[in-house]
A and B are shown apart, each in its own frame.
Chain A
Amino acid sequence: MTWDWDYAREVLPKLLEGLLVTFEATVVGSLIAYVLGLVFAFIRRSRIPVLSQVVWLFVEFVRSTPLLVQVFFLYYVLQPELGLLWTSFLTGSIALGVHYACYTAEVYRAGIDAIPVGQWEAATALSLPRSRVWLGVILPQAVPRVLPALGNYTISMFKETPLLIAIGVVDLVGEARGVGAQSYRYVEPFTIAGLLFLLLSYPASILVRRLERRVNRQH
C-alpha cells in the first residue's frame, strides 16, 4: 500500500464537491432541527390535548429507531406515497433534520425549564402578552444557554451525513467511494475524506466547548 500524491491531488476537487454536499445537508438538517425542535418543545409544553401527546409519541418513536430506517422510510415509502417528488438530497436532509429535531426538542425543553419561575411571574405581573413573554423574556434567555448543545448536534449531523449514501446522495464519502471505484485505489480518497471530516469537526467542537464555557460563566 503506497501513497500516490499525484492521484491524491487529482481526486481532491471531486472530494471537495462531495464535501459541499455534506455541508449543505448539514446546514439544511440543522435549520430544520433548530426550528422544528423548538416547535416540538412548544407543543409538548402547551399541553394541547391529543396534539401534545402525538408529538410526544413521535419524538419517542424517532429517538428509539435508527436514523437509517427513518431515511429509508421517508425515501421509499412516505415520499412516493405522498407524491412529493423530492430529490434524494432533500429527502435525506429532511430526514436528518426531523431526526435531530427530536433531540433538540429536549435541549430546548431543558433550556426553557432552566429559566427561573420568577421571570414568568414578573412577566405576568407586568401583564405582558404571551407572545412577548416568549419572544422578549424567555427565549432570549433560554436560547444562548442551549447554543452549545445545538452546536454539538450540528457536529453529529455533519458526521452522520454519509448515511444518506444509502438513498443515493453523493456526499464526501460517496464521492470518495466513486472516484475510488473508477481507479481501484481507495487509500487516498478515503484518507482524505476522513481528514476533511477531522479538519472540520475538531475545530468546531473546540468552538462549541469555548461557547459552553462562556455560557456557563454567565449563569
Chain B
Amino acid sequence: MSTDSTDPTITFDAVTKRFGAHVVLDELSFTVDPGEFVTLIGPSGSGKTTILRLLMTLEKVDGGTISIDGEYLSHMERGGKLVPADEKHLSRVRRRIGMVFQQFNLFPNMSVLRNITEAPTRVLGLSKGEAEARAVDLLDMVGLSDKASAHPTQLSGGQQQRVAIARALAMRPDVLLLDEVTSALDPELVAGVLSVLKEIASTTDITMLCVTHEMQFARDVSDRVMMFDSGRVIEDAVPEKLFTSPEHDRTKEFLSAVLNRA
C-alpha cells in the first residue's frame, strides 16, 4: 500500500453515520493535514464526539470512507472492491491513532506506570525496560514523575488526565484525538492539563483533533477551527478569523452563548 507524502493525515469522504433513524453525520467530508491541530466546536449533539469515535473505530460508518494517510480505516480493499474493514485490518490501522477521553478511563487495576507501559509492551512489542524508560520520560513531561507507582484512584482528576495523555502518547500515535478532556475536571485543574496539551502541540508533529469548550485554548493552539452544526461543517477557518469575525450567524450565536457561559 503506497503512502503519498502529500496525502492528508485524516480524510473523511462523504461519511454518513446514523443511530437508528437519526442521521448524525450526513455525507460529511473534510481533511486534516499532517501535524495540524484542528479544533471542533459546535452545539451539543452536533456530532463532534461521533467524529472522534469513528476515527478511533469505536463506531462504524454507515456510508462513505475514512482514511488515515491515504489508507482506508473504515474499509479495506479485497479483490478490487471496497469492503468494510475486518478486525485485523482495524487493529493494524488503529495503532496510528490515540485518544484521550473526557472521563480519563485509566485502568484502576494497574499502577500509573503499568497503565502507560501495558500497550507498548503488549502491542508494539517493546521490552519492559524500553517501555518503562518511555513511560518515565512521558511522566516527566506531564509533570508526574513522582506518581509512577501510584494507583489511578489516588490521583486527582487533573493528574489522572495527564496520565491518560501520557498513556496515549506512549504508543507514538500519528493522530491524537481529544474529546473534551478538561470537561470533567474541577476548574482549578484545567490549566495544568491544557498546558501539557500546548506543549505537545508545539513540540511534536502529531496531528491533533480536539473537541473543547475552552475557547481561549482553542484560539491559542489551533491551526484551524471547524464549526459543526447538525453533522455538517458550517465554517472552517483559522482561529483568528473564526473567533473574531465569523461569517455564519450560527457560529456567532454559538460563540456568544459559549463565551457568556464562561
| A interface residue numbers (CB < 8 A to B) | 116, 118-119, 121-129, 132, 136-137, 140-141
Contact = CB atoms under 8 A, between A and B. Distances in A.
A157 to B, nearest CB: 28
B122 A125 contact: no
A137 B98 contact: no
Contacts, number: 61
Interface in B95-134: 95, 97-99, 101, 103, 105-110, 118-119, 122-123
B211 to A, nearest CB: 15
Contacts of A118: 101, 103, 105
A126 B119 contact: yes
A123 B106 CA distance: 9
B213 interface: no
Nearest to B164: A122
B188 to A, nearest CB: 24
Most A-side CB within 10 Å, residue of B58, B106, B119, B171: B119
A137 B168 contact: no
A137 B107 contact: yes
Chain A interface helix/strand/loop/mixed? helix
B99 A128 contact: no
Nearest to A121: B58
Given A127-B119, A127-B171, A136-B118, A122 B105 contact: yes
B94 A127 contact: yes
B94 A124 contact: yes
A126 B167 contact: yes
A128 B107 CA distance: 12
Contacts of B103: 116, 118
Interface string B122-166: 110000000000000000000000000000000000000000100
Contacts of A128: 118-119, 122-123
A119 B109 CA distance: 11
